[in-house]
Chains A and B, each alone.
Chain A
Amino acid sequence: MSTLTDPLSPTFEPRPEPLRALGLLSGGLDSTLAARLLMDQGIEVECVNFHTGFCIQSHTGALRNPKPGAAPPRHDALHAAGNLGIRLHLVDIAEDYVRIVTDPKHGYGKNLNPCLDCKIFMVQKAHEMMRSMGFHFLFTGEVLGQRPMSQRRDTFPVIDRESGAGGWLLRPLTALRMPLTEPEKRGWVDRSRLMGFSGRNRKPQMALARQLGIVDYPSPAGGCCFLTDENYARKLRDLWSYRGERSYAMEDILLLKAGRHLRPAPHYKLVIGRDDSENHFLSGFVEGRILIKARDIPGPLTLVEGTPSPDDLIFACRLAARFGRARELPEVAMVVEVQGSREIHQVIPLPAHEMDEAWYV
């Protein structure tokens, strides 16, 4: 059976030249393969990658001291686009994305990941770009059954419908298991050269990569963003519950990525750097927060958020002192900076038996 639409069929339409497709590129293997399958059919491919503020890749690497000999972190989508030789549009959707995270219509996955709303939103944005930039159709690297929340037989039509993309979204890796999309119906895309992958097994993708000579791709992660991370989600929930509302600023969600977070009382929280790199990173967030540091000895930088009383601040100094070399001293001078004013407190570092595990967010 030929899978190319018959020129005599009522849906046939001559293929535009060049035929241009816009894809969602995460930089992982799936979206890279999807792009290659279309490029190999002579389709002109460009991709888009959305910045939500929760991107997991490289941030952990960029925040901590590098392990000796470790390669510098990289942005997977940029790297994949460079390898594919295609143009990548990096689009910052962080501001609009707040609404997706704080109030997702379709709810959350295992942690605070609103995957279905997220996908709909991204495809919707891509669809707007498709129309304004003269692309003929969209594609993603989605595979049926691969992710529990968004990549299901019953969620694909929801994505297509609610994003407004309708039949103009092609999923090259799983197309043979899906109804015909518009570009296939018109005979623009050769369906026989698309795939019918499904499920969580990644062997077929890896075999296809080998066949296409794609060797340099990141190993699959649990999800594409910090919202799928249990520890991160816990910190974000903590932030929301003590604020009394689901909201966040860019600064908040960046700060949740760094340091130890301890909440000794509901109305304030400490963020303590774990190494030089984190201390440096935290030092960029002093504005609007209280900074604590040991005066004469090396130790971490601590930020305090919330509304601590003067007594709370003394306690915070004792707690912060535990995490540096000050811990071994009977008494230590801690510097407290609040909006430019500076105080020194002589404190006794908090002994181990007064620490409470429950303070760790």
Chain B
Amino acid sequence: MSDVRDPAPDGMDSVPVADRVVDARRLLCPMPILKAEGAMREMRDGEVLEVRATDPGLRNDLPAWCRSQGHRFAGMRSQGRELQGWVVKGMG
């Protein structure tokens, strides 16, 4: 990953605009996903959730979670220890 300020996530032109942000930094698997799931329950289809975490497992778990929940995984980027991922609700 590059250190350029605000790089777009892999394979994306721009940083998605999130309707909601879940801060799961320092939490261990599966807490980031459990928190994301809690937030999703209060969101509408098509809205974008941003998940911030430091557990490197998010890299694999966020896309897998999207596949099992029918959300669309919209990308991920990392800066140092921190990961940021985006999910579009119910658009998988």
| CA A85 to CA B70, docked complex, whole Å | 9
Interface residue tally for chain A (C-beta within 8 Å) = 29
Do A58 and B34 form a contact, CB below 8 Å, given A74-B64, A79-B64, A81-B64? no
Q: Which of B20-63 contact A (CB under 8 A)?
A: 26, 28-31, 33-34, 37, 54-57, 59-61, 63
A63 to chain B minimum Cβ distance, whole angstroms, is 8
Interface of A is mostly: mixed
Known: A61-B57, A74-B57, A78-B64. A90 touches B30 (CB 8 A): yes
- Most central of B28, B65, B70 by chain A CB within 10 Å: B28
B33 touches A78 (CB 8 A): yes
Q: Closest approach, in angstroms, between the C-beta of A26 and any C-beta of chain B?
A: 13
Known interface pairs A74-B60, A74-B64. Does A62 touch B28 (Cβ–Cβ under 8 Å)? yes
Q: Are B69 and A87 in contact (CB under 8 A)?
A: yes
Question: Which of chain B's residues have a CB closer than 8 A to the CB of A88?
Answer: 65, 68-69
Q: Report the bound CA distance from A35 to B63 in whole Å.
A: 21
Query: A75: which B residues are within 8 A, CB to CB?
Result: 29-30, 33, 57, 60-61, 64
A201 to chain B, nearest CB (A): 30
Whether B34 lies near A51 (C-beta < 8 A) is yes
Is A90 touching B28 in the complex (CB atoms < 8 A)? no
Whether A81 contacts B56 in the complex (CB less than 8 A), given A51-B34, A74-B61, A90-B33, comes out as: no
Smallest CB gap from A88: residue in B: B68
**B5 interface contact, C-beta 8 A:** no
Contact A72 B57 (CB under 8 A): yes
Task: Bits for A69-98, please: 1 = Cβ < 8 Å to B, else 0.
Answer: 001111100110110011110101000000
Inter-chain contact A78/B61, CB cutoff 8 Å? yes
Provide the bound-state CA to CA distance between A57 and B28, in Å.
11
Shortest CB-to-CB span from B68 to chain A, Å, is 4
Rounded to whole Å, the gap between the CB of A59 and the closest CB of chain B is 6
Complex-state Cα separation, A81 to B68, whole angstroms: 6
Partner of B67, one of A49, A63, A82, A90: A82
Mark each residue of chain B from 70 to 82: 1 if its CB lies under 8 Å from any CB of chain A, else 0: 1000000000010
Chain A residue with the shortest CB-CB distance to B38 = A92
Asked, given contacts A51-B34, A87-B68, whether A79 binds B56 with beta carbons under 8 Å apart, the answer is no
- When distances are taken between beta carbons in the complex, the residues of chain A under 8 Å from B56 are 61-62, 66, 72-73
Give the distance in Å from the alpha carbon of A82 to the alpha carbon of B61 in the complex.
10
Give the contacting residue for B68; candidates A51, A58, A86; CB below 8 A: A86
Are A79 and B60 touching (Cβ within 8 A)? yes
With A61-B56, A62-B56 as given contacts, are A78 and B28 in contact (CB-CB < 8 Å)? Answer: no
Q: Which residues of B contact A66 (CB under 8 A)?
A: 56
Instruction: Give chain A nearest CB distance to B32 CB in angstroms.
Output: 10
**A284 within 8 Å of B (CB atoms):** yes
Chain B residues, Cβ within 8 Å of A51: 30-31, 34
Besides the contacts A59-B29, A75-B29, A75-B33, what 10 more A-B pairs have beta carbons closer than 8 Å?
A: A51-B30, A55-B29, A59-B28, A72-B57, A72-B60, A74-B64, A75-B61, A87-B69, A88-B69, A92-B34
Question: What are 23 pairs between A and B in contact, CB < 8 Å?
Answer: A49-B30, A51-B31, A58-B28, A59-B29, A61-B57, A62-B57, A72-B57, A72-B60, A73-B57, A74-B60, A75-B29, A75-B60, A78-B30, A79-B64, A81-B64, A81-B68, A86-B68, A87-B69, A87-B70, A90-B30, A90-B37, A254-B28, A280-B54
10 closest A-B pairs by CB: A74-B60, A82-B67, A81-B68, A82-B64, A78-B64, A284-B26, A72-B56, A88-B68, A73-B57, A72-B59
